[in-house]
Amino acid sequence: MKIKIKNGIVLDMVGVPERKDILIENDKIIQIDKNITKEADETIDASYQAVMPGLINCHNHVGMSIFRGYSDDLELQDWLQKAIWPIEDNLKADDVYYSSKLGCIEMLKSGTTTFSDMYFFMEDVAKAMEETGIRGMIGRTILSEGKEADKRIQEAEKLYKEYHNKAEGRIKVNVVLHAPYTCPPDVIKKGIALSEKYNVDIQIHLSETEKENEDIQKEYGKSPTQYLNDLGLFSRHCVLAHGVHLSEKDLEILKDKNVGISHNPISNLKLASGIADIVKYRKLGLTVGLGTDGSGSTNTLDMFEEMKVASYMQKVLHKKASCIQAKEILEMATIEGAKVLGLEKEIGTLEVGKKADIILINLQKPHLQPIHDIYSCLVYSAIGQDVDTTIVDGKIIMQNRELKEIDEKDLIEKCNEIKEQYFKKIV
Ligand SMILES: [Zn+2]
């Protein structure tokens, strides 16, 4: 199957944006040039569109989509203990499947083609990924201690064996350790061993709140970063979610390691966790991507919103509007995100030989015109709803904002049935 995308403004995230054509064969980009004359099975006229790599969401809990809007404006501990955990305790595999599917189509419809995820009933998340066509890195969350932790480690290994590289290679499975405050040293070590056994990455929440830092300091006499470093975690490639409260000493440890940070600005603001100084992290040479976190704390999985907020937060933090540029933000949502997930050889830019994960953004809209700078237009003016076409692995998933193979209405109904079954207004 060959697809030609014709005459769009191509932001390949390598060179300068230019009008070009892109030729896709099966799952890969095989040519990017002006006026490609070769025939294709399908040609998309992109004359009024921006064409760019699919966005990469580095941190999510897609099974939480049914929590959207359920427990807003609560303190973090109340949010978890009174609102989220009591419901999660009752959820069944099917509920997580439908919830994940809703999150997957929300992402695909707002331009995200790859995401990183940690939750439970991950086989059902994988099933939702298989059916919707999205790409992602997933893992069964490991936490707790003793037999409880061992049970989760077994489930994590089972998920790897069943789903790693499945769905034409779109699904990657890695090791997920929940956080320093939920994983004692022996569990962290078992997680590292599992990651070494299968040579896969590790995802972990890190220094999301000041309280987490204080608790770990009290228990182990060191910061969460030092705690994990002493256990040898950073000998593996790690995706570190949040990293809001990192000291100079922590950054000194992390800067030479093969780790990436998922900055999740809206979740950090909404839960009042704090502001990660990503301008500083990037100056030190750390790789920073963007993520949404789950819909329970972020409400939408629209990476265009995350891009705007990420930029504005830094401007306020540094009291300097020029401290971060629109182009850098777009890099974080694409190629830098790919590096965070260790997938930069496959995705994150539009280049010959890379996977055809491509989005087209309709620029013929009042809120996007006139265009002085295409990066500014996409970061500060565009919203997820402006994405017109989404291609993953060379397959058109959405065109003219219509999903090709998924019955959206049916799925929304199903999720509302789950809502009726479990959720009562809490406070
Ligand atoms: Zn999270």
Nearest to 108 by CA among 348, 337, 396, 344: 396
Give the span between the Cα atoms of 170 and 126, in whole angstroms. 10
237 and 324 both lie in a single domain? yes
Distance from Cα 186 to the centre of ligand 1, integer Å = 22
Strand 238-242 versus strand 259-263 pairing type: parallel
> What is the reported pTM?
0.97
In a domain, 215, yes or no: yes
228 and 277 both lie in a single domain? yes
pLDDT of residue 427: 45
256 and 380 both lie in a single domain? no
pLDDT of residue 76: 81
59 and 36 both lie in a single domain? no
Distance from Cα 61 to the centre of ligand 1, integer Å = 6
Distance from Cα 131 to the centre of ligand 1, integer Å = 24
Which residues does 111 contact at the CB level (< 8 Å), separation at least 6? 54, 55, 303, 304, 359, 361, 384, 387, 390
Please give the tally of structural domains in the chain.
Answer: 2
In a domain, 238, yes or no: yes
In a domain, 347, yes or no: no
71 and 29 both lie in a single domain? no
In a domain, 99, yes or no: yes
Distance from Cα 118 to the centre of ligand 1, integer Å = 8
pLDDT of residue 297: 87
In a domain, 6, yes or no: yes
35 and 127 both lie in a single domain? no
pLDDT of residue 227: 98
Distance from Cα 162 to the centre of ligand 1, integer Å = 24
In a domain, 267, yes or no: yes
76 and 40 both lie in a single domain? no
pLDDT of residue 425: 57
Query: Ligand 1 is a single-atom ion; what residues have CB below 5 A from it?
Result: 293
Distance from Cα 383 to the centre of ligand 1, integer Å = 23
pLDDT of residue 77: 80
Distance from Cα 373 to the centre of ligand 1, integer Å = 33
Distance from Cα 290 to the centre of ligand 1, integer Å = 12
For 27-151, strand residue ranges (E) read: 28-33, 42-45, 49-53, 55-60, 112-119, 135-142
Distance from Cα 241 to the centre of ligand 1, integer Å = 7
24 and 141 both lie in a single domain? no
pLDDT of residue 209: 95
272 and 394 both lie in a single domain? no
22 and 99 both lie in a single domain? no
249 and 201 both lie in a single domain? yes
Distance from Cα 143 to the centre of ligand 1, integer Å = 13
pLDDT of residue 71: 84
In a domain, 348, yes or no: no
Burial (CB < 10 A; 0-12, 13-18, 19+), residue 292, is: buried
Distance from Cα 271 to the centre of ligand 1, integer Å = 12
33 and 163 both lie in a single domain? no
Q: What CATH number is given to the structural domain containing 8?
A: 2.30.40.10
pLDDT of residue 243: 98
Distance from Cα 204 to the centre of ligand 1, integer Å = 9
Low-confidence stretches of the chain (pLDDT < 50) are 427
The answer to whether 37 and 373 have CB atoms below 8 angstroms apart is no
Distance from Cα 19 to the centre of ligand 1, integer Å = 38
Domain of 158? 55-340
